[in-house]
Structure 1
Amino acid sequence: MTSPRWDLVYRPRKLPRWAIVAAVIVMAIHITFGLLLTIEDVGVRNLGSSDQVAIILIGVLFTGAILLLTRPRLRVGAEGVEVRNLVPTRLFTWDQVLGLTYPEKGFGAWLLFPSDEHITVLAVQANDGPQAVEAMARFRELEERYRGTVRPAN
């Protein structure tokens, strides 16, 4: 199976950076507290090495969850619009999509569908500034090319 050719591939700029910083901090905290349990002067004497490992493993789980924020991506091409938020990747054909907009009080852009339905596109966020605006403009150009019409921006 051949992969579709994508005219636009957009990933957020700031969210992955913040997610990596947060993941490092969370992991450092869990490792530190896991290792500090070996000190006799903390007042807790009935904790063992299994508790240390458990605290560190909980940190690994939290870190993995935080690192999911590095995954968001928007891809646009002739086949449609592919959105990957945290885990799922979904492809929407052009006949399903009405457009991409940024809500006034939103965290990310919305991919619009008929019947006033939408999904949040975590890849396109206002805090990315001019890059996000450029991605929105490029999306609208491709939407016009592949759909022939563009829904007016809100």
Structure 2
Amino acid sequence: MGVAARNAETTAGQGDSPEWDLVIRPRRAVRTARIVAAVIAVAFLAGGIWLRSGSTGVNFRVADQLAMIGIGLLIAAAVLLLTRPRVRVGPSGVSVRNILGDSDFPWETVRGVAFPDKKSWARLELVNDDYVPLLAIRSNDKERAAQAMDRLRELGAKYTAAQE
């Protein structure tokens, strides 16, 4: 397999195709969610292992230990859902993936993008006076979030002008 074929596979496997000019993902929130998920998983694993070692008067069984570990893994997996947010921008419009599901917005429906005061994330403003939160552009990413907003506005101006 050639280098070009491997690179194409890698790009396709990540879900980022060449049709997107900009892909934005949060950085600090992802790192924090991964750390928290790992801590939760380890804590429930340790709790599950040591559940039967004490003499509290309650008889815990192996099933109780496995349930405790399983609950910890489910909670850790739920925390990892916070690593999913992504915004993709291209000629066809803006694709927003927050925690669950993707939504595509063609440029005709996009009025702009804003970062309201005292909010943790940006929002995509639509022509029907509705808005969609952009969890991928978070205030705690500071300069990186500002650059993402500038680039998103730049591409928005470019593609809306091309449609007129």
Candidates 142, 147, 152, aligned match of 1:129: 142
Stretches of structure 1 lacking an aligned partner (at least 5 in a row): 150-154
Secondary structure (helix, strand or coil) at the match of 2:21 reads strand
What's the CA shift for 1:4? Answer: 6.1
| Pairs aligned (count) | 146
User: Residue 9 of structure 1 aligns to which amino acid in structure 2?
Assistant: V
Letter in 2 for 1:128: D
Structure 2 unmatched runs, 5+: 1-16
1:23 partner SS? helix
Q: Could you state the TM-score of these two structures normalised by the residue count of structure 2?
A: 0.84
CA distance in 2, matches of 1:113, 1:44: 60
Give the equivalent residue in structure 2 for 1:152.
none
From 94, 97, 121, the equivalent of 1:84 is 97
Q: Which residue in the other structure is 1:139 paired with?
A: 152
Counterparts of 2:112 and 2:32 in 1: how far apart (Å)? 28
Deviations 1:66-106 (A, max 9, x none): 00111111100001000111121111100111111101121
Cα displacement (A) at 1:36: 1.0
Q: Which runs of 4+ in 1 moved over 6 A?
A: none
SS at match of 1:100: strand
TM-score, normalised via structure 1 length:
0.90
Over the aligned positions, Cα root-mean-square deviation in angstroms equals 1.4
1:29-68 counterparts in 2 under 5 A?
A: 29-41=43-55, 43-68=56-81
Deviation of 1:29 (Å): 1.0
Q: Identify the structure with bigger relative contact order (alpha carbons < 8 Å, sequence gap 6+).
A: 1
